[in-house]
Amino acid sequence: MYSPESEVHILGPREQLCSLLGYQFADPGLLELSLRHRSWCAENGAVASNERLEFLGDSVLGLIITDHLYRSDPGISEGVLARNRSELVSAVALAGVARTRELGAAMSLGKGEEATGGRNKTSILADGIEAVIGAVYLDGGIGAATVVVLDLLHERIQDVLYGGLASDHKSQLQELSARRFGQLPRYVLTEEGPEHEKHFSAQVELDGEPWGAGEGRTKKEAEQAAAEQAFERLQNPNKDNPDQPDTSAQPDLGSLAVSDRQEASSIPTETTPGGTHA
């Protein structure tokens, strides 16, 4: 016999986002505002976008992460603190955790962004999660924002504090590429957007073939993301492309001798002009 209790409630994208964040907004309007991309606003009467909340959330995120890193180990130097913070608040890191919370599905995007895969763009997701953090701060205060941020970045914080930085994928790829192909990676960069808000895309080529692609708010972030994808594909060459040449018989990075690493690092980096630093 049918009963109302037997109905299964299917969560909408924004309900799902709140569930995965572990936070329910007292003011749902703040959540709605945090998810409005400017492309959607331009098509809907020029209403307010999430950019102000993104600006606020960026500062709230930086404060929470800096405070947590500072208190975690009194012996860490200022230079290491800065490097660890940069790793945790990068666009690539933020977009990664945004994907685990299905943020893209909850965003309000314009037709153009929707058609070009905006729901999975690193820049949109990174900006969006910062806007959500800003909204949580306004809705529940610094305590609520701290809980959300530390939960979002828990695994990455553990990796940074106790597993060492693993974000320098360009250096890892350089070593592995020099060993396997006898040459260094080549990065091809493209950029779009106004001067004050550039968005970069990078493709990395190994032995003349594309092996990875990435994007970011700086040239360095885009190249790091592309290098990460290429490095993972080198480690698992047939995982997503059975036609890719099998390099699995070659030694992995962990087996390289110190002398090999020194030899690889002495080769000049091949890249497009301006493609190594933001």
Q: For residue 61, give the nearest of 53, 51, 71 by alpha carbon.
A: 53
- Nearest Cα to Cα of residue 134 among 36, 216, 221: 36
Do the strands 199-206 and 186-192 form a parallel or antiparallel pair, or are they unpaired? antiparallel
Q: Which of 130, 139, 175, 205 is catalytic?
A: 130
* Beta sheet of 209-216, edge-to-edge order: 186-192, 199-206, 209-216
Q: Tokens for 149?
A: 């941020």
Collapsing DSSP states into helix, strand and coil, what is residue 188?
Answer: strand
* Residues near 18 by beta carbon (within 8 Å), at least 6 away in sequence: 24, 25, 31
- Sorted by sequence, the CB contacts under 8 Å of residue 101 that are 6+ apart come out as 17, 20, 21, 129, 152
Residue 58 among the catalytic residues: yes
Phi and psi (nearest 5°) for 206? -125, 125
151 catalytic? Reply is no
Amino acid at 128: G
CA 27/CA 250 separation, integer angstroms: 56
- Token match 């309007």: residue? 29
List 58, 87, 127, 215, catalytic entry: 58
Q: What are phi and psi of 90, to 5 degrees?
A: -65, 160
Q: What is the DSSP letter of 264?
A: H
**Angle of helix 154-162 relative to helix 78-88, nearest 10 degrees?**
150
DSSP designation for 101:
T
Residues catalogued as catalytic: 58, 130
